[in-house]
Amino acid sequence: MKSLFLKDSITYDGQQLHSLFGYLEHGVPGNSVISWIGPCDIPFAHMVDGEDLREQAAIRGGLMLHFIVEIFDRDLFAGVAVQRLMAAIGKDLVETLAAAKLQGQRLRRSGDDIYWQDRKLSISIAAKSPISTLVHFAMNVSNGGTPVKTCALMDDFGLQGKDVAEKMMTALVAEYESILFATVKAKPIS
């Protein structure tokens, strides 16, 4: 799996969640994780999550750290597992990097979401395309422009988005490669 942090700000509006996002738009072929910092505003026309569509839930934020993961030859179950892996990595990383600010408090992961007390840190979705499985995972960098009560990397934990992005991508790539190795090292049973 390859990774890339984009220096340019992109507003995530749901259209970025498409096959070959990493390759066609950023020259990164194959299994990949692409990250950047930018606003988020997903209109219903581009919303993938059926639950959010049914509830007509607004999904937006003034500044978020975004990740798009694309994996090939995997089903949607694997995509949801990667989505939850991203949440687990993000939770652990923020707790480690912001230990002084948290003063012994813990973040909480519920499925693919991360919370601090009753404030939401992340959003995410996994979806299947005709040729790959995709995950969008994002964490608030600031609390501005969100329709729900949130916490944020910079505002609440004093963390730089780019630093968090690079550490999360390194952890995800290592975990993904380790998972792939685990699938080929065991001899078959009869």
Q: Does 169 reside within a domain?
A: yes
Q: Does 154 reside within a domain?
A: yes
What is the pLDDT confidence band of residue 19, given thresholds at 50, 70 and 90?
very high
Buried b / exposed e over 99-123, threshold 16 CB at 10 Å, is eeebeeeebebeebebbbeebbbbb
pLDDT digits (tens, 9 = 90+) for 157-190: 999 999 999 999 999 999 999 999 999 998 889 8
Q: Does 189 reside within a domain?
A: no
Compute and round to an integer the Cα radius of gyration of the chain.
16
Q: Give the chain's domain count.
A: 1
Q: Does 190 reside within a domain?
A: no
Q: Does 187 reside within a domain?
A: no
User: Which of residues 54 and 153 earns the better pLDDT score?
Assistant: 153
Q: Does 9 reside within a domain?
A: yes
What is residue 146's three-state secondary structure? Answer: coil
Q: What is the pTM of this model?
A: 0.95
As a whole number of angstroms, the longest Cα–Cα distance in the chain is 57
For residue 104, the enclosing domain spans: 2-182
Report residue 113 CA to chain centroid gap: 10
Instruction: Please say whether the beta carbons of 146 and 177 come within 8 A.
Output: no
- Residue 26 has a CB neighbour count (10 Å cut-off) of 15
> Residue 93: what pLDDT?
98
CATH of the domain at 72: 3.30.930.10
Residue 10: closest CA among 76, 64, 89, 79: 64
In sequence order, which residues have a C-beta less than 8 Å from that of residue 89 and are 6 or more positions away? Answer: 168, 171, 172, 175
Pairing of strands 2-5, 32-42: parallel
pLDDT digits (tens, 9 = 90+) for 42-70: 998 898 988 888 988 889 999 999 999 99
Q: Does 120 reside within a domain?
A: yes
Instruction: Please say whether the beta carbons of 135 and 125 come within 8 A.
Output: yes
pLDDT digits (tens, 9 = 90+) for 92-146: 999 999 999 999 999 999 999 999 999 999 999 999 999 999 999 999 999 999 9
Q: Does 65 reside within a domain?
A: yes
